[in-house]
Amino acid sequence: MNYALLIDNLTNPALLFFALGILAVRLKSDLEIPPNSSKFISLYLLFSIGFKGGQELTHSHFTMTIIWSVLFGIAIACIIPLYTFFILKRKLNIEDAGAVAAAYGSVSAVTFVTASSFLDIQQISFNGHMVAVMALMEAPAIVIRVILIRMYGQKKDGSAKIKNIMSHSFTNGSVLLILGSLVIGLLASDQQALGIKPFTTDIFKGFLAIFLLDMGIVSGRNLNDFFKNGKLMALFAIIIPLVNGCVVALLSSIITSDIGDRFIFAVLAASASYIAVPAAMKIAAPKANPGIFLPMALAITFPFNITIGLPVYLSLINAF
């Protein structure tokens, strides 16, 4: 059953385009995405993710359970990049440590969809507001990453005052775009959102495929950096998601008793972003090496979660 889910997701065209990008580099092809086009696609993905997340929030009737769920999700998205950054910066440079921490602090929409299918097979439901929680968990890790880089990635010349750091973090282009798009999506009516649906939704998967092709090319050019720390990074990409997922599976009982919602919380905590964060890093941290964090998220954490992680988290929730 889990192997069927694995095969279905690993044959997803978007992921295969990522593999094509790596293959193109290995074959020494001249295939590449023009830099200006690549930046536009990154901006589009952030805009679309933020806007659709805001739309999901408009469909939620706020209760205390929803409010606590949102706060719990945001707390997870802030704590994970903080503690992982301090683990990683002992082995990686500040830019790469921040990028990996942001990827693991943020969430994977594809893993979320896979988890939804897994729950359907188990005949377990979850509440609709968890989609909004997922959307709100995209941005905090990016903000935390920008703050950490500003604090630790420059000389202590007085320019790293907390006021300056916070100001730069929230006015950073990628952060401002995803948060601003979320607010706009929240304010827009269904009819207004329908007017731009062909742009925000219908072409999303196509742009995602081109984006992952570009990320595959960039990753292929920098894979040596991943293999240099390969054993350490591979262990991190398995152990950290497993720890995050198991801890949140247990702690989520404080927020809700709903098995489906607790499972989704665990999956979100265990997942790693390979869409929003790479798109943001391309703008906010061009020096960060996607040849490190993208293979970790796509080639290790993603398949680990959907084959081993999902049943582990659900078993833990049922046991406690």
User: Measured between alpha carbons, how far is 164 from 145 in angstroms, rounded to an integer?
Assistant: 15
User: Measured between alpha carbons, how far is 314 from 204 in angstroms, rounded to an integer?
Assistant: 31
User: Measured between alpha carbons, how far is 247 from 240 in angstroms, rounded to an integer?
Assistant: 11
Judge whether 128 lies within some domain. yes
For the segment 232-254, the average pLDDT, to the nearest whole number, is: 94
Domain range for 289 is 2-23+33-319
Judge whether 183 lies within some domain. yes
Total domain count, the chain? 1
Q: What is the CATH number of the domain that holds 279?
A: 1.20.1530.20
As to burial, measured by CB atoms within 10 angstroms (0-12 exposed, 13-18 middle, 19+ buried), residue 168 is: middle
CA-to-CA separations, 214 to 19, 46, 67, in angstroms, rounded: 10, 16, 38
155 pLDDT exceeds 70? no
166 pLDDT exceeds 60? no
Each residue's pLDDT tens digit, 47-101 = 887 888 788 778 777 788 888 999 999 999 999 999 999 999 988 888 899 989 9
Judge whether 28 lies within some domain. no
User: Measured between alpha carbons, how far is 188 from 300 in angstroms, rounded to an integer?
Assistant: 38
The answer to whether 292 and 99 have CB atoms below 8 angstroms apart is yes
User: Does the global pTM surpass 0.85?
Assistant: no
Give residues with Cβ within 8 angstroms of 31, minimum separation 6.
21, 24, 217
Each residue's pLDDT tens digit, 106-132 = 888 778 877 887 888 788 988 878 878
Structure-model confidence comparison of residues 12 and 166, the more confident one: 12
User: Measured between alpha carbons, how far is 274 from 290 in angstroms, rounded to an integer?
Assistant: 10
Give residues with Cβ within 8 angstroms of 173, minimum separation 6.
283, 284
User: Measured between alpha carbons, how far is 18 from 239 in angstroms, rounded to an integer?
Assistant: 24
